[in-house]
Amino acid sequence: MSYINDQLIHTLKSFNVNLGDENYSGKVRENFYLDDKIIMVTTDRVSAFDHILGTIPFKGEILTQIAKFWFEKTKHIAPNHYIDDPDPQVLLTKRAKTLPIEIIVRGYITGSLWRDYEKGIDDQYGFKIPAGMTKNQKFDSPILTPTTKADYGEHDEPISKEEIVAGLVDKDIYEKAEKYAIELFSEGQKWAQERGLILVDTKYEFGMIDGELNVIDEIHTPDSSRYWMAEEYQERYENGENQLMLDKENIRQWLIEKGFSGEGTPPELSEDIRVLLSEKYMELYKVLIGDDYNPSLGDVNTRIINNLTDEGLLKENVNEG
């Protein structure tokens, strides 16, 4: 796909405009606050092991459209903050008071959980993981592994339910968040199975809007979730082989192979890995949504500015990122 290579020089690394009363720059998103709403611009930045590594062509657009798909598909299960998408790479959302924790639901033992388990660390969430498990094995039923929400450059830390309800989040609110997380994950797994995928694990963030708990940030995207190809799972598992992945885990494995797992300075992303990850995100979009992904080519920054201006959300800008 030559257009992916052509887009390497047009990716959105940052988005700097004079917009709203305040703004927040996260690992991937630039959030602009307008009274009770947020304009969430998803850049093309990619992060892993709590480091921003560079940019991936079309990543922000694919994440935004998958998140929109899932917000609309799951609103009957849990209310969420989505209002509109004024640009393929931008969400207009309700402003929420974010809970200071994230809930990760895991259907399989893999990724960081497996790496800790191999080291004998298996009780950091207030319960013991069954003994004798093997990499990529399915749990009898999904488990919840909450973490703290860390600022950029710091690590999210495992935390138990008991620690959360002891002071971070009201017990009733947290238990409702757990309930929503399990129901959303079940819905995600069911849809993924119909599409020939396995939703392996995923992260949920929650916030309070007008006294009601809402799902916020993103949902079931390849940044917040792991997806495997279902048809090859069992054979690969039995042979001890890595699974076919359509998510950000590809770049984590690339980094690990380069000798980087979070400490020190990460290696510079090659054009090959940037293109590969873009292809994986596009493939997931096609399989998950059921439609071909039609990318918006060219200067992302100018397109977003024009679309926000057309929607009356942006009246004046100072810098172009």
Domain ranges of the chain: 2-310
Alpha helices, DSSP H only, in 143-248?
161-163, 171-194, 233-238
**How confident is the model over 3-44, as pLDDT tens digits?**
999 999 999 999 999 887 788 888 899 999 998 999 999 999
Question: Which amino acid makes up residue 104?
Answer: I
Buried residues in 124-147 as b, exposed as e (16+ CB within 10 A)? ebeeebeeebebbebeeebbbbbb
pTM over 0.85: yes
Name the amino acid, one letter, at 158: P
| Closest residue by Cα to residue 137 from 226, 232, 231, 240 | 240
SS3 274: helix
Which element (helix H / strand E) includes 186? helix 171-194
User: Could you confirm whether domain 2-310 is CATH 2.60.40.420?
Assistant: no
Which residue is listed with tokens 């790479």?
Answer: 89
Per residue in 58-71, pLDDT (tens digit) is 999 999 999 999 99
Q: Residue 314 and residue 321: Cα distance in Å, rounded?
A: 15
Q: How far apart are CA 30 and CA 40, in angstroms?
A: 6
Q: Which residues on neighbouring strands pair with residue 82, listed in sequence order? A: 93
Amino acid residing at 151: D
Per-residue pLDDT at 210 exceeds 70: yes
